Structures are given as C-alpha cells and as structure tokens.
C-alpha cells in the first residue's frame, strides 16, 4: 500500500494519504485532510527512505533480540511495534493505516507525543503514559 506525503498549498499543513494501489495514487485527486483544498504538493517521503534502511539493518540482526528496547527512544519503540505487528499476522490488518504511520514515524525518530497530535484517528491508548497527556488547549 503506497503512502504519499503532501503539503497543502492553502493551509501549509503536511499529511499522508494511504492509497490502495499505485495506479490509484497516480490517478487520484488528493485533497487536504485539514481544510479540503485540492492540488496539494507531493513530498518525497523521508520516512520511506529511513524505513528501508531500518529493515536492512534489521535483517542483519537477530530477530528474537529485543534486548535493546528502550521505552524512551522512539526508534526503539517503533521497532518493537513493528515486531508486534508482524507477530499478530492476519489480525495485524485490523490495526489500520494510522498504526502503520505511527510506526513509521517512530522509526524515523519522531517524538511520540507529537505523533499523537499529528495523526488523527489514532487508536486510543497509544502513548498512554499517565501524567502529562492532558490535551493542550
Ligand atoms: Zn489544507
């Protein structure tokens, strides 16, 4: 499932669109998920590049090794979540594109709290670390 990133020409916000197929992505008519403006500017996805690098490194590592898991390191959390996703097998399809995007962002080293703010429809409970999670109004 191709994921393309766009920047809205109206409100300047960045967002991702999950296309079902590459041909749909090529012929699709994306609109801004925030303001609905059409013709957003497509961005080269930095996350994709990092992710292929990540999987290359992972293939060299012992797949059973979770010893380096560090809950304060977004990249470590991302690796852990991706392993969980893989182990869930068929049921993993129910997690939805938001979950996939979160893992991508974590692996890219983004701050989990920032991800939670930026990814609409994110499953509740992710990053539920107790105090400090109040919405900033
Ligand atoms: Zn917009």
**What is the per-residue pLDDT across 25-47, written as a single tens digit (0 to 9) for each?**
888 889 999 999 999 998 865 55
Both structure tokens of 32: 């801004």
pLDDT > 80? residue 66: no
Give me ligand 1 centre to Cα 103, in Å.
24
Beta-bridge mates of residue 41: 7
Residue with tokens 């991702």: 16
| Mean per-residue pLDDT of the chain | 74
Q: What is the pLDDT of residue 137?
A: 57
Give me ligand 1 centre to Cα 136, in Å.
22
- Tell me the whole-structure pTM to 2 decimals: 0.35
Give me ligand 1 centre to Cα 72, in Å.
32
Q: Mark out the alpha helices in the chain (DSSP H runs).
A: 22-27, 46-60, 74-88, 96-107, 112-118
Residue 131 or 84, more confident? 84
């Amino acid at each position: 499932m191709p994921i393309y990133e766009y920047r809205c020409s109206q409100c300047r916000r960045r967002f991702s669109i999950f296309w079902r197929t590459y041909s749909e992505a090529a012929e699709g008519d994306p609109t801004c998920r925030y303001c609905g403006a059409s013709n957003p500017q497509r961005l080269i996805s930095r996350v994709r590049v990092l992710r292929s690098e990540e999987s290359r490194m992972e293939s060299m590592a012992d797949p059973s090794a979770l010893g380096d898991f560090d809950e304060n390191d977004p990249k470590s959390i991302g690796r852990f979540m991706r392993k969980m996703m893989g182990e869930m097998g068929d049921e993993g399809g129910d997690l939805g594109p938001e979950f996939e995007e979160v893992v991508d962002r974590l692996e890219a080293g983004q701050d989990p709290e920032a991800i939670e703010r930026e990814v609409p429809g994110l499953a509740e409970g992710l990053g539920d670390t107790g105090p400090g999670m109040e919405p900033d109004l």
